[in-house]
Structure 1
């Protein structure tokens, strides 16, 4: 092993180890998996990501049954958002924890948390209990997705990234595809509680599979490679001291307070009330504190504590563009899988039927992610042009979804709108997973993979919070002059209360509900259009490419001054 390292160092005319370097050598084949281990770990990661992603969409067709049972339509947004807040805030944090305590240990730990609180969700007796358990369920989900993608990066060579990105993207999209069907079937024929309880047996089975298949010490098995910047392998306790606890607290607190303010303003509190202003103010202070903390740690001469979001990220225009693309594409995905089934259920379609009608959207996300990775991996088309196609599809699709005005039934054209929007989202999801190695130095696979996913989920949580606020404010404003306070309260707690209203009033209430969905969709026009700005940040001459140049691959010295970029397989045509 040492001899091979010396040969690699001589060939590249540079030392094999850098004291300030924390990344794995992507050219070191000793860390790669093969045979039964590769197949078993791939299956384990795929199943874990399937279970996690299904939890976002499986709730979509079950929300009506949940809020009817637990009496809390005015808090319906929290059933999804409480999951997304912790999911959003902890993806990068779990990535950093895995550097200290190991990929295998953290992956199993996160899956166990997810499974345990899935059981708690299934046993909840109130909306408060369900929201709290969903928040803890999101903690486990964040680690499952972040570490699953990290392990996938580290177990295969770089030229296999598009293939594995296609596999994981399609698995995630499959979860979104079957989630509404499973949720609708359980809610209609058994109980909504089984949409959570089903995770328990399958989750424990995946835990056992991960325990058996992932090598101990992965991806450092058989290597003397440091977990830290000192060049010496630290103990887990010493590595834990390098975690950015303050930055993690600021990131979690800022995200939580911001989403809370957006969800509660206009519902529990007025926009100009002291609680709303306080939430926004405290969130802003924590965001500033987070940025100052990351800047301080990144520029400190003594690298004792490692930042969870290095300041160098802000200086890399292409990398920030990738993160913003991931964030802005998360909003239409989350809002659409919640709103489309509810739109159908407003007109009397049952839960399972609403899930069936969401198939075109989720199917095109899966197909889009797979096809775009095949095209990107086999052709020399720069990703920026493929991403532009995805953005255009999303903008047009969302505009069309926000234009539905019929108040007696859902037009069949909605399926074409779903196909167009889903295709655009699938393209974005698929490419954002494979872009990081092409635009940044691979100092930390875990951090980079976690950042892409964290921005996506944060965008989804932010988009859902804004859309829910706009929709709820519209409904309250329109209905307060139409219904007495007691009937308005019933409608806000459960859409099923509309069946108790007299016919002329009932028709008007349904009309208002339909228009509220359009109001929520119009919020997404801004999120999708903003992707054009993020896309412009990826523009360079020559363009970024995911296909390796043979000359650069065969002779790393051709990279010249861009050695870091070449070493991470960032190639341009």
Structure 2
């Protein structure tokens, strides 16, 4: 049985036995936690040799591709809309992917507990491959947007399952180093995405932005099919926690374990919230019936979801909650989820705003803009390794690392948000990018590593998926808020340049700036530059809020990492 604190508000299951386990608990400042091995952890069978490296390659490839789909499409969106029409809908090419991605992360994680990691990974990869091909073959912008949503379902599933497998393919004492190295592939995709997208848009058809996934992901699918054991990671032992697969795959017993109502509530509440924030002050004003209805409906669904999940958790019946109520009673879990939410904005939106600034304000091509983003995107994987060393070898508690990373983000984005309004590119922008990217990178992997260590072992998959979902939800919501600030400033100062005040005309103006033949006056470029400055300062606020969120990890006893 797991150790329970006297106040009953926080339970922690240690993920390993021995001295290393106790030391890892201390690294998180987990008071009153006792290193007691869980039944599930003892039954995990670790793979070795060729099979280990094959699984590692599968995770690296899939995580690289699903993250690549965000920045590569951002820089290629103009080429897509030029080919298919509809510049005002360009944001939906990115948003539809994120909606599908966010909507299934936790659901697929829980299904993998029931149906198996291998099966759900293969299903997710198949979705990603099929709908990547469909996006590449699309003939209208509507088709691209719809297929992107389904591609996002596959991408979200791949990310969710790969994140879980990362913590099950190696023993607990190797988590920090292994997860940090795997997450480098994600950071590298953010580094190379703008460059690849810009090169494809400039040199060949935009369709290769999507088609490039098909052969690479197919190879990963085949390797996963061959190398991952059928009952991974419990393929070498049987227990009451991991029964043998029934004769009928989708049996009545399996369906009874699925929290179907919770999954539906989580899906629609999340999609409603992100869709409302995406269109707020863009196609629809904040006070429009569309935005108000979606936000109200989403809030009601989240309330019903919380009540339902509390009921399912406390009932302790065969049905497994999609979002256990235990999460909301765990102060450290809440801290990490808040940090994930607030980190999503600066990390992912920085990838969105900076290339747009280089293209629209300074008139660079998509490829050149991607190259000039390198200081920001390169700093993330390097800082990830650096922070892992601080947490491991230097014995610095995670709370202080998270706060340091947040402070660096504040400094970096504050400097980026106060750039002078000049026609040339100021050289110091690259130094500011480096500072902001370093701050994001310090927290990028360690927040993921901390999740299973502050939750019971049975909640490992769901907790890690919840962290990923909160990060992407945060990026979507912070993006919508920062875009609203940008749009409001432009409407106030560009009335003469706009045919009307609606969001469609504003988007058309912004995307028209990519075309040299339609280059705007210098005054309009300065106005756009100031709009980007204000948008960047919103990221500064999100970064600053990570400091009080990290303080929720505080413990009176200062423990160090061994």
Q: Which residue of the partner structure matches residue 149 of structure 1?
A: 163
* Structure 1 contact 262–469 (Cα < 8 Å) conserved: no
* Structure 1 contact 343–514 (Cα < 8 Å) conserved: yes
Aligned partners of 1:46 and 1:32: how far apart in 2? Answer: 18
Q: Which residue of the partner structure matches residue 3 of structure 2?
A: none
Q: RMSD between aligned alpha carbons?
A: 2.5
Are positions 1:132 and 2:135 aligned together? no
Q: Which residue of the partner structure matches residue 28 of structure 2?
A: none
Aligned partners of 1:162 and 1:95: how far apart in 2? Answer: 21
Matches within 5 A, 1:195-234: 195-226=209-240
Runs of 5+ unmatched residues, structure 1:
1-7, 9-20, 548-573
Deviation at 1:405, TM superposition (A): 3.2
Q: Which residue of the partner structure matches residue 550 of structure 1?
A: none
* Structure 1 contact 435–546 (Cα < 8 Å) conserved: no
Matches within 5 A, 1:51-200: 51-200=65-214
Residues 197 and 232 of structure 1: is their aligned pair in 2 closer, same or farther, counting only changes over 3 Å? closer
* Structure 2 contact 76–197 (Cα < 8 Å) conserved: yes
Aligned length: 523
Normalization by structure 2: what TM-score? 0.88
Aligned partners of 2:504 and 2:103: how far apart in 1? Answer: 33
Are positions 1:284 and 2:299 aligned together? yes
Residues 336 and 253 of structure 1: is their aligned pair in 2 closer, same or farther, counting only changes over 3 Å? same
Matches within 5 A, 1:257-406: 257-300=272-315, 302-346=316-360, 347-406=362-421
* Structure 1 contact 23–444 (Cα < 8 Å) conserved: no
* Structure 2 contact 282–504 (Cα < 8 Å) conserved: no
Deviation at 1:240, TM superposition (A): 2.9
Aligned partners of 2:518 and 2:70: how far apart in 1? Answer: 35
* Structure 1 contact 84–457 (Cα < 8 Å) conserved: yes
* Structure 1 contact 50–171 (Cα < 8 Å) conserved: yes
1:46-94 CA-to-partner distances (Å, cap 9, x unmatched) read 1111111111121232223223333333233222222112212211111
Deviation at 1:417, TM superposition (A): 1.1
Residues 264 and 168 of structure 1: is their aligned pair in 2 closer, same or farther, counting only changes over 3 Å? same
Deviation at 1:501, TM superposition (A): 8.1
Deviation at 1:331, TM superposition (A): 0.6
Aligned partners of 1:436 and 1:190: how far apart in 2? Answer: 42
Normalization by structure 1: what TM-score? 0.86
Candidates 463, 472, 480, aligned match of 1:457: 472
Aligned partners of 1:426 and 1:450: how far apart in 2? Answer: 19
Are positions 1:537 and 2:552 aligned together? yes
1:153-196 CA-to-partner distances (Å, cap 9, x unmatched) read 11211011012111111111011111111111100000222111
SS of residue paired to 2:75: coil
Are positions 1:430 and 2:445 aligned together? yes
Aligned partners of 2:74 and 2:517: how far apart in 1? Answer: 25
Aligned partners of 2:119 and 2:518: how far apart in 1? Answer: 58
Q: Which residue of the partner structure matches residue 41 of structure 1?
A: 55
Residues 314 and 125 of structure 1: is their aligned pair in 2 closer, same or farther, counting only changes over 3 Å? same
Aligned partners of 1:227 and 1:70: how far apart in 2? Answer: 52
Q: Which residue of the partner structure matches residue 553 of structure 1?
A: none
SS of residue paired to 1:537: helix
Deviation at 1:441, TM superposition (A): 2.1
Q: Which residue of the partner structure matches residue 413 of structure 1?
A: 428
* Structure 2 contact 274–473 (Cα < 8 Å) conserved: no
Deviation at 1:543, TM superposition (A): 4.2
Deviation at 1:545, TM superposition (A): 5.4
Residues 436 and 487 of structure 1: is their aligned pair in 2 closer, same or farther, counting only changes over 3 Å? closer
Aligned partners of 1:275 and 1:488: how far apart in 2? Answer: 14
* Structure 1 contact 77–465 (Cα < 8 Å) conserved: no
Deviation at 1:150, TM superposition (A): 1.0
Q: Which residue of the partner structure matches residue 440 of structure 1?
A: 455
Q: Which residue of the partner structure matches residue 10 of structure 2?
A: none
* Structure 2 contact 127–151 (Cα < 8 Å) conserved: yes
1:382-425 CA-to-partner distances (Å, cap 9, x unmatched) read 11111121011011111111112314123111111111111111
* Structure 2 contact 421–530 (Cα < 8 Å) conserved: no
Aligned partners of 2:210 and 2:518: how far apart in 1? Answer: 36
SS of residue paired to 2:73: coil
Runs of 5+ unmatched residues, structure 2:
1-16, 18-35
Q: Which residue of the partner structure matches residue 240 of structure 1?
A: 255
